[in-house]
């Protein structure tokens, strides 16, 4: 009998593991890069490149990006924000198209009792990455007059690809698991007021809103999202639907807040003869710290809803329902007290960008819970 040394055994084992690894990678590539996914990714890439070519080369930039509006210049911060938002608007359009396509695909397959073989969302995205990543920056930077820094083109391309990834993720659920896809859409819609409402706390300190108005806007976001999230979770508990993850809720909300709403604003809330791209400040906070805080709070809320979905006996306890009612009441009382003239000042480090209305460095953030008197 031939004796096999330990070194030979190790070599054979390594070869076997390597073969299986290569075989698995090949199988995964074939699953992801199917013919429909490659074709669809190519169509999306060409369509988006043509759209950016139209926006930044042929269209009247002064109308599309509102040059001169409130003294805006082609390279000031407000206009740069509009350039960046164009990537999210374009990604929102693709998301709506893919929601319709994947939804129709899934319904057709189930009615015909066919296996769902929709194009891989990952394959679509990976196919579109290279042409968009290479094509958008030069179009944005050098496609029109005045020329823009290449950094702006790279930022627009990055936001477009990020938005496209989120939109494709949200859309693919409509084909593979329509119930979960609709659940994501529902949770995304009801958490959107929270994502957009909390950022309003910084506006009074910038002189862009009255404290009372900002208070009610934050309150509206808290109550509408709170009631919507709890109501949807309770309804799903009644039907014993499979639990959903917190990150799915948050990501679906981001898709609605930062992709769908900018697109709807561009299509329906601008004059037909002069459609323009919205300013980033309509959806994102001026200060990065405030925006991160908004994302953290909304993320914790999403994790809380996930906890409720996984512990559905919670709903059977009346004390828990009473606790929710007391919490909402405290939020209402705090907002009313705030609107009567109480505030908290938080100085943040942005003295050059946003001097407050007293002329001191930093700016003031107004919060619904009162910590000290005016």
Higher pLDDT, 362 or 190: 190
For 32-62, how does the pLDDT look when each residue is reduced to its tens digit (9 = 90+)? 668 888 999 999 999 999 999 999 999 888 8
| Integer Cα distance of 123 and 251 in angstroms | 20
Gap between the Cα atoms of 72 and 65, Å rounded? 9
Q: Looking at residues 66-76, what average pLDDT do you find?
A: 85
The SS3 assignment for 76 reads coil
* 235-274 pLDDT, tens digit each: 888 788 888 999 999 999 999 999 999 999 999 888 877 7
């Amino acid at each position: 009998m031939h004796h096999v040394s330990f070194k030979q055994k190790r070599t054979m084992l390594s070869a076997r593991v390597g073969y299986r690894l290569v075989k698995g990678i090949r199988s995964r590539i074939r699953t992801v890069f199917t013919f429909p996914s490659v074709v669809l990714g190519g169509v999306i890439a060409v369509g988006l490149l043509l759209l950016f070519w139209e926006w930044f080369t042929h269209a009247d930039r002064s109308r599309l990006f509102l040059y001169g509006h409130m003294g805006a210049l082609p390279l000031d911060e407000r206009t740069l924000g509009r350039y960046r938002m164009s990537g999210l608007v374009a990604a929102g359009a693709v998301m709506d198209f893919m929601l319709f396509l994947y939804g129709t695909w899934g319904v057709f397959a189930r009615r015909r009792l066919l296996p769902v073989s929709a194009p891989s969302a990952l394959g679509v995205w990976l196919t579109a990455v290279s042409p968009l990543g290479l094509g958008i920056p030069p179009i944005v930077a050098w496609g029109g007059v005045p020329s823009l820094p290449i950094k702006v083109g790279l930022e627009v391309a990055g936001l477009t690809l990020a938005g496209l990834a989120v939109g494709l993720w949200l859309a693919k659920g409509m084909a593979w698991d329509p119930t979960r896809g609709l659940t994501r859409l529902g949770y995304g819609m009801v958490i959107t007021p929270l994502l957009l409402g909390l950022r309003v706390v910084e506006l009074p300190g910038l002189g862009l809103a009255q404290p009372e108005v900002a208070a009610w806007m934050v309150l509206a976001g808290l109550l509408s999202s709170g009631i919507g999230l709890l109501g949807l979770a309770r309804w799903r508990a009644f039907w014993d639907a499979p639990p959903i993850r917190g990150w799915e809720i948050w990501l679906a909300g981001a898709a609605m807040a930062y992709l769908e709403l900018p697109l709807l604003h561009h299509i329906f809330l601008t004059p037909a003869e002069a459609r323009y791209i919205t300013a980033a400040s309509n959806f994102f906070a001026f200060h990065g710290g405030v925006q991160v805080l908004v994302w953290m709070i909304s993320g914790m809320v999403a994790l809380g809803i996930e906890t409720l979905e996984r512990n559905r006996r919670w709903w059977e306890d009346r004390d828990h329902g009473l606790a929710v009612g007391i919490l909402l009441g405290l939020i209402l009382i705090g907002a009313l007290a705030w609107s009567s003239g109480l505030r908290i000042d938080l100085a943040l480090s942005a003295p050059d960008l946003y001097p407050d209305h007293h002329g001191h460095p930093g700016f003031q953030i107004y919060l619904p819970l009162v910590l000290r008197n005016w």
